[in-house]
Structure 1
Amino acid sequence: MTAGMLTPVQSPARRALRIFLRTPSGVIGLALLVVIVGCSLLAPHVAPYDPVAYMPVDRMQGPSAKHLLGTDLYGRDLLSRVIFGSRISLSVSSISIALALLVGGTFGALAGFYLRWVDTLIMRVTDIFLAFPAILLAIALLAFLGGGFWNLTLAIAVAYAAPFTRVMRAAVLRTRDTMYVEASTALGATDARLLWRHVLPNAAGPVLIEITLRLAYAILAEAALSFLGLGTQPPAPAWGQMIADGRPFLETNPWISIAPGLAIMVTVLGFNLLGDALRDALDPRLNR
């Protein structure tokens, strides 16, 4: 490059992507999630056996060439059940976090944009929900609604809506008083256009990081509630329920609980590594 020529300025998105790809933990987390999601989507083609088929002849077998992770009390292949169980865990967590983002993010954006009594009302209600531990709030809701896939999803969504309200409000507060928002206001832009076109796109970074971290929390919440018998009911293969099924055999056949426990650990690790890498890439104070 000749002297006097200006170096091209990278866009924020490209710079964030470059920083993310240079973070080994983020790439590892993304790779783990790609494998887990891929196995979930292709479960009928990847799983070697029917996850709910009873095979009494093969009951309580250890890991072997025939059953890589062993079998449970009813002879069901644990690898197949872990693979199909990822469908339930990922479906519950993704749908619940999407609902929590829709509700909590909407109220957070309204609170941060309008302030005054709107902010006060929304944040006081949010404080009430935050006063309860998320898992206890979900248990209380399931005790009232009953177990099942959709009730479990709704309970987790309600439990994690309040944190999204706080994060969205903080992100909108940092954006609403910027010069380009004031210029759009002077040009006659409506509140809806300001929020949709200018405020929310520039507040997406912290919310995206929060999504990855809350997905990990939702995986753990779904497993805990299934362990207590409040989630998807048997014989559907849910990771938490599988751990509960293996609890009486921890001393003699520990692989029944170890297999789904490792699946939960790897999935949560993937989301946490991805979230940390996104934080490093999207936070200008860290990637400057």
Structure 2
Amino acid sequence: MTAAVRTLTPAQRSLRLFVRSPGAMVGLVLVLLVVIAAVAAPWVAPYDPVAYRPVDRMQGPSFSHLLGTDLYGRDLFSRVVFGARVSLAVSVLSIGLALLLGGVLGALSGFFLGWLDTVIMRLTDILLAFPAILLAIALLAFLGGGFWNLTLAIAIAYAAPFARVTRAAVLRLRDTMFVEASTALGATPGRILWRHVLPNAAAPILVEVTLRLAYAILAEAALSFLGLGTQPPAPAWGQMIADGRPFLESNPWVSIGPGLAIMITVLGFNLLGDGLRDVLDPRLRNA
């Protein structure tokens, strides 16, 4: 058994540790359930999420309507399932854009240092001086609401943390022996950064991506709650909670369904991120 374990590659050892982590597996299952529900929404949802049915308005949970209906008679389960598409699309696109913007700036800052590092880090200090949700609100007040403006606002709000994480990872690797060897062999700085440094700096960046996806979902829900996100009648979890706010005492299920969806999704991404961190961090892995 010992000999078999010693022959495992680092990737195989990391995968084994990830599978053996209960929290990571629970997070992965929760995330997969949400993703599958979003992808298969037309087949999972029993009703049209935007069709008005006044005769069915404000019904409680039943076999016909698993989460009840809202003020306009729309099936809440169907709207929650289709709302997963909006939340996941906004979070994935915004974090992808934030990673591209912040990752490029952070990599350039950590690898070349000098005046470029000073300018980029001072810019990130300015962005980090504002709470992310407040910065997103300010950007949306200038850009206007809507899906793409919401995505851009969240991306800008979370670009600075990615720049910091990427810079720290690159800065730790820029003076290592394999970088010096590549330089001695005549490799250009761009090639060294792209082919050698960034692949070895991927672990902390990947963990940051997973954790920031949870923050992006919360941000999308908060901005939709304020009416700055996807506009009605398109289903969005934050907007659904806002619609149910006047009925919290009499018909709380209108807000409970989307609230549970947000909680499950964020919990899944957080557990998945914690599991990846434990597997990819050598100090925690050795402990």
One-letter amino acid matched to 2:134: L
Q: Partners of 2:260 and 2:108 in 1: how far apart? A: 40
Equivalent position of 1:25 in the other structure: 23
SS of equivalent residue, structure 1 residue 219: helix
Post-superposition shift, 1:15? 1.4
Q: Which amino acid aligns with 2:86?
A: I
Distance across 2 between alignment mates of 1:58 and 1:104: 48
SS at match of 2:130: coil
Q: Aligned AA for 1:221?
A: A
Shift of 1:10: 2.8
For 1:287 and 1:10, locate their aligned partners in 2 and report how far apart those are by CA, in whole Å: 15
Give yes or no for the alignment of 1:52 onto 2:50.
Answer: yes
Q: Which residue of 1 aligns with 2:100?
A: 102
Deviation at 1:98, TM superposition (A): 0.3
TM-score of the superposed pair, with normalisation by structure 1: 0.97
Match of 1:194 in 2: 192
Matched residue count: 286
User: Which residue of structure 1 aligns with residue 158 of structure 2?
Assistant: 160
The AA in structure 1 aligned to 2:83 is: G
1:176, distance to aligned residue in structure 2 (A): 1.1
1:248 aligns with 2:246: yes
Distance 1:281 1:174 in 2: 19
- Partner SS for 1:231: coil
Query: How much has 1:178 moved relative to structure 2?
Result: 1.1
Q: Secondary structure at the match of 2:232?
A: coil
Equivalent residue of 2:234, what SS?
coil
Other structure's SS at 1:237 match:
coil
Q: How does 1:167-246 map to 2 (within 5 A)?
A: 167-246=165-244
Paired AA for residue 44 in structure 1: P
Shift in Å at residue 9 of structure 1?
3.9
Quick check: 1:120 aligned with 2:106?
no
Aligned counterparts of 2:153 and 2:10: Cα–Cα separation in 1: 37
Which of residues 145, 148, 151 is equivalent to 2:146? 148
TM-score (norm 2): 0.98
Q: CA RMSD in A?
A: 1.4
Q: Distance in 2 between matches of 1:212 and 1:164?
A: 12
- Deviating more after overlay: 172-181 vs 206-215: 172-181
Question: SS of 1:64's equivalent?
Answer: coil
Question: Residue 12 of structure 1 aligns to which amino acid in structure 2?
Answer: P
Q: Residue type matched to 2:99 in 1?
A: L
1:229-279 Cα shifts (integer Å, max 9, x gaps): 000000000000000000000000000000000000000000000000000
Deviations 1:119-138 (A, max 9, x none): 11110111000000000000
| 1:11 corresponding residue in structure 2 | 9
Aligned to 1:62: 60
Q: Does 1:264 align with 2:262?
A: yes
Distance in 2 separating the partners of 1:287 and 1:277: 11
**Alignment partners' CA distance in 2, 1:269 and 1:63:** 24
Match of 1:74 in 2: 72
CA shift for structure 1 position 181: 1.1
Shift of the alpha carbon at 1:44?
0.5
Q: Distance in 1 between matches of 2:61 and 2:205?
A: 42
Shift of residue 79, structure 1, vs aligned partner: 0.2
Note the residue ranges of structure 1 that are not aligned, 5 or more in a row: none
CA distance in structure 2 between the partners assigned to 1:62 and 1:238 by the alignment? 20
Letter in 2 for 1:239: W
